[in-house]
Amino acid sequence: MIRSIPPVLLLLAACAEAPAVPDEVVQAGASMDGAQDFSFGPTAFASQELHGRWIYDAPAGFSCSGTVDGWAHAPLFAAGAPGDLADFCVLTWVGVGSPILGKLPASSDLRVISPDRMAVVGMSHTPVVDLSVREDFEDNTYELVDPVSAYTRSLLPTRKSRVVLLDTVATSEAPFGESPNDEHGLRLAAIARRAVCDQRAMPACLARVETRLAMGFSAVPGTGFTTSTDGGSLGRQSDLATAIYDAVEDWDEDAHAPGSTVGRLVLNLSLSWHPETNPATARTATEDAVFKALQYASCQDALVLAAAGHDDTPIDESGGSGASLPAAWEANPEPSNGECNTLFSGVYSRSSRTTNYRPLVHAVSSVTSQHRRSAYARPGSLPKLLAPGEFLTMTPPGSSDPLDPITGTSAATVVASSAAAVAWALEPSASPHDIIVDHVYGAGQPYLDDDGNLVDAMVHVSGKVPQPARIVNVCKAALSAASTAVVPTTTVCDTAAVDP
């Protein structure tokens, strides 16, 4: 049955329910329900403090330049970083022999000064499979992710959303020309690109997918770490902080250039680390640099989605529960306009908020093709946003073959980011949180337990009533946003496929 929705952008998007798993895929030994044993992240790695590199939230008057007692001082963020961001200094040991910690600024408070930490890893597992099996996974991915198809190009939005994946691929506006040492970010970028573009003609896209390097290190047994401009599988927390800030600054410059076609900004964090302290309230200085960078992104009206993490990643030595960081910071509300002005020494005017649910970040976790919770999900980490996250793959532009499939909350997060990006392109005046609440979450399918009951999210803003979790669908998010647009045409959709 075909129905008309009030005058909106012509958007034909076929929404489908979860497909059956192809027999040949199951026979290949890859369980779509996550029953197989996986090792997520670098297998021979545990988070490490870097005692030759410290992050200092310096007081007024501290000189963040030069070398003092063997420690080189330099600003963490780029020149011109506003307000609280300008207070962060990197102290790097350049003296002879082992670092002399007694020469660091005196403080017993880790919130003031703390060692940088090699702790950031992607939340995924990537099995290597034959091409024929990859093609089966790709067919399944199309149906699970449900990409949008915008067929009337003349009526596409004049501004495209920008999705930036802070990941393992070099900073690039054209990531598919890169050759990263770790393809985690490239696989995610291929999924996002296909999700936001017309499947019949790739140039017709509702969003642009870009990458920014946040994980540029690789572990070398017995040696330590090597770094490369072609990326790696690991990242320092401080590198993530600067990547967030730089991505926001580049977007701000591009979006406000004369004749710009750059729309709203979505930051995808398909990465995490285990919190060293209480994730909502206490942070080390290094973690606080990431937190403040995220606050700055919020003050610039960006939307941030982050992977909720896995139960068995080597980065989690504690075997704890709850979402990993930075996803666990969904417990923290976004800063108010007044707080933005105070934190970052400016006047920040953001889009009007309708919803009362305004977290600093939105956490995302993974479900199977049958809409069950993925077996590797961390206990106590159920967020309100769930998305398909098992054995997803797409063919990147310029290639005829799909990449190896990716499984994890990383994959689920990029699906949710893609849904947000297409919805925001269709309703660009909305606030980031209204896009999530009204369209990405609001149009999602309710997540039910084995008895058919709704399941409340465990990760939510402190003090807010938890909402039932829902499963994100790109098509449904786009249709929901398109129904609010005001352009002189009609959207049609197959309601048999749209209805849950």
Q: Residue 449 above 50 pLDDT?
A: yes
Q: What is the pLDDT of residue 485?
A: 58
Q: What is the pLDDT of residue 22?
A: 38
- Segment 182-192 shows an average pLDDT of 92
- For the ranges 119-133, 166-180, 333-347, 348-362, the lowest mean pLDDT is seen at 119-133
Distances (CA, A) of 211 to 145, 178, 262, 406, 457: 20, 10, 15, 17, 30
Q: What is the pLDDT of residue 53?
A: 95
Q: What is the pLDDT of residue 410?
A: 94
Is 289:59 a contact under the CB 8 Å cutoff? no
Total Cβ atoms within 10 A of residue 253: 11
- CA 138 to chain centroid, in Å, comes to 21
Q: Helix %, strand %, coil % for the chain, to 5?
A: 25, 25, 50
Q: What is the DSSP string of 12-29?
A: -----PPPPPPHHHHHTT
- Segment 298-308 shows an average pLDDT of 96
312 contact partners, CB below 8 Å, separation of at least 6: 38, 39, 40, 376
Between 103 and 25, where is the model more confident?
A: 103
User: What digits encode the pLDDT tens for the residues 118-143?
Assistant: 888 876 776 667 777 888 888 888 77
Edge to edge, the sheet with strand 445-446 lists: 207-213, 160-167, 262-269, 303-307, 362-367, 385-388, 470-471, 445-446
Block residue for tokens 């020494």: 345
Report which secondary-structure segment, H or E, holds 210: strand 207-213
Q: For residue 358, which amino acid is it?
A: R
Q: Residue 69 above 70 pLDDT?
A: yes
Q: How confident is the model at residue 40 (pLDDT cuts 50, 70, 90)?
A: very low
Q: Which of 290, 330, 312 is nearest to 408 (CA)?
A: 312
Q: How confident is the model at residue 276 (pLDDT cuts 50, 70, 90)?
A: low
Is 386:364 a contact under the CB 8 Å cutoff? yes
CA distance linking residue 326 with residue 153, whole number of Å: 37
Is 404:191 a contact under the CB 8 Å cutoff? no
Q: For residue 151, which amino acid is it?
A: Y
CA distance linking residue 163 with residue 386, whole number of Å: 19
Q: What is the pLDDT of residue 7?
A: 25
Q: What is the pLDDT of residue 403?
A: 86
Q: How confident is the model at residue 147 (pLDDT cuts 50, 70, 90)?
A: low
DSSP class of 397: T
Q: Which of 37, 238, 236, 225 is nearest to 125 (CA)?
A: 37
Q: What is the pLDDT of residue 10?
A: 31
Q: Classify each residue of 275-301 as buried b or exposed e, where b means 16 or more C-beta atoms within 10 Å of its C-beta.
A: bbeebeeebbbbbbbbbbbbbbbbbbb
Tokens of 482: 């398109």
Total Cβ atoms within 10 A of residue 121: 28
Q: How confident is the model at residue 317 (pLDDT cuts 50, 70, 90)?
A: very low
The residues with which 226 forms a beta bridge, in sequence order, are 218
Between 5 and 390, where is the model more confident?
A: 390
Between 56 and 233, where is the model more confident?
A: 56
Q: For residue 70, which amino acid is it?
A: G
Q: How confident is the model at residue 203 (pLDDT cuts 50, 70, 90)?
A: low
Output the CA angle 430-351-333, nearest 5 degrees: 95
Q: How confident is the model at residue 277 (pLDDT cuts 50, 70, 90)?
A: low
Q: Residue 79 above 90 pLDDT?
A: yes
207-213/160-167 β-pairing: parallel
Between 282 and 431, where is the model more confident?
A: 431
Between 21 and 178, where is the model more confident?
A: 178
Between 195 and 327, where is the model more confident?
A: 327
Q: Residue 280 above 60 pLDDT?
A: no
Q: For residue 317, which amino acid is it?
A: E
Q: How confident is the model at residue 13 (pLDDT cuts 50, 70, 90)?
A: very low
Tokens of 252: 């701000």
CA distance linking residue 447 with residue 384, whole number of Å: 9
Helix, strand, or coil (residue 146) = coil
160-167/303-307 β-pairing: unpaired
Please report which residue ranges of 35-110 form alpha helices under DSSP H: none
Q: Which of 89, 86, 46 is nearest to 71 (CA)?
A: 89
Report which secondary-structure segment, H or E, holds 357: none
Q: What is the pLDDT of residue 135?
A: 84
Q: Residue 211 above 90 pLDDT?
A: yes
For the entire predicted model, the pTM comes to 0.88
Between 441 and 6, where is the model more confident?
A: 441
